Chain A
Amino acid sequence: MIHFENVGLRYGMGPEILRDLTFDIPRRSFQFLTGPSGAGKTTLLRLLFLSLQPTRGIIRSFDREVSSIPRDELPMLRRRIGIVFQDFRLLDHLTTYENVALPLRVRGKDESSYKADVLELLKWVGLGERINVLPPVLSGGEKQRAAIARALIDRPELLLADEPTGNVDPPMAQRLLSLFLELNRLGTAVVIATHDLSLMDQVEARRMILSQGRLDIYD
Chain B
Amino acid sequence: MTEAPRETAQEAQGARRPEMKVRPTAPIVPPSNVSGNALMAVIAIMAFLACLTFGAVNMVRATASSWQSQISREITIQIKPDDAIDMEQALKDARDLALTFSGTRDGTIVDREATARLLEPWLGEGLNLDELPVPRLVIVTIDEQSPPDFTAMRKALSAKIPQAFLDDHRTWVDRLVAMARTTAFIGTGVLVLVFSAMVLTVVFATRGALSGNRHIVEVLHFVGAEAGFVASEFQKHFLKISLKGSIAGGALAALFFAVAGFWQGRSIATPQSDQATALFGSFSMGLTGYLGIAATIAVIALLTTLTARFTVMRTIHEIDQIRSDPSRTDQLPDT
Chain A residues in contact with chain B, CB under 8 A? 9-13, 17, 38, 40, 42-43, 49-55, 71-72, 74-76, 78-79, 83, 85-87, 89-91, 93-95, 97-98, 101-103, 105-108, 111, 115, 119, 128-129, 131-132, 150
A72–B227 touching, CB < 8 Å: yes
CB pair A75–B221 under 8 Å, yes or no, is: yes
Selected from B215, B229, B326, the residue in CB contact (under 8 A) with A89 is: B215
The 4 closest A-B pairs by CB, nearest first: A106-B225, A79-B224, A12-B327, A93-B30
B122 contacts chain A at the CB level, 8 A cutoff: no
Given contacts A11-B329, A94-B26, A106-B226, 7 further A-B contacts (CB under 8 A): A49-B222, A51-B222, A51-B323, A71-B320, A91-B216, A93-B26, A103-B224
Q: Is A91 touching B335 in the complex (CB atoms < 8 A)?
A: no
The residues of B that contact A97 with a CB separation of less than 8 Å are 22
A128–B19 Cα distance when bound, in Å, is 10
Interfacial residues of chain B within 183-223, with CB under 8 A of chain A in the complex: 215-216, 218-223
Point out the residue from A12, A78, A105, A150 that lies within 8 Å of B28, measured CB to CB.
Answer: A105
Q: Which residues between 297 and 335 of chain B lie within 8 Å of chain A, taking CB atoms?
A: 317, 319-320, 322-327, 329, 333-335
B220 lies within 8 A of A131 (CB)? no
B85 to chain A, nearest CB (A): 93
Count how many chain B residues have C-beta atoms less than 8 Å from C-beta atoms of the other chain: 34
Using CB atoms, name the residue of chain A closest to B21: A132
Complex-state Cα separation, A85 to B222, whole angstroms = 10
| Residues on B facing A (Cβ under 8 Å) | 20-23, 25-26, 28, 30, 215-216, 218-227, 229, 317, 319-320, 322-327, 329, 333-335
Interface of B is mostly: loop
A87 B25 Cβ-Cβ under 8 A: no
Main secondary structure of the interface of A (DSSP, over half): loop
With A42-B333, A52-B323, A53-B326 known to touch, is A75 a contact of B215 (CB < 8 Å)?
no
The answer, among A12, A103, A132, for a CB contact under 8 Å with B329, is: A12
Cα of A94 to Cα of B220 in the assembled complex, Å: 13
Are B323 and A53 touching (Cβ within 8 A)?
yes
Query: What is the minimal beta-carbon distance from A106 to any residue of chain B, in angstroms?
Result: 4
What separation, in Å, do the CA atoms of A101 and B229 have in the docked complex? Answer: 16
Question: Nearest Cβ distance between residue B59 and chain A, in whole angstroms?
Answer: 46
Return chain B residues, CB-CB under 8 Å to A75: 221, 224-227
| Interchain CB contact under 8 A, B224 and A107 | yes
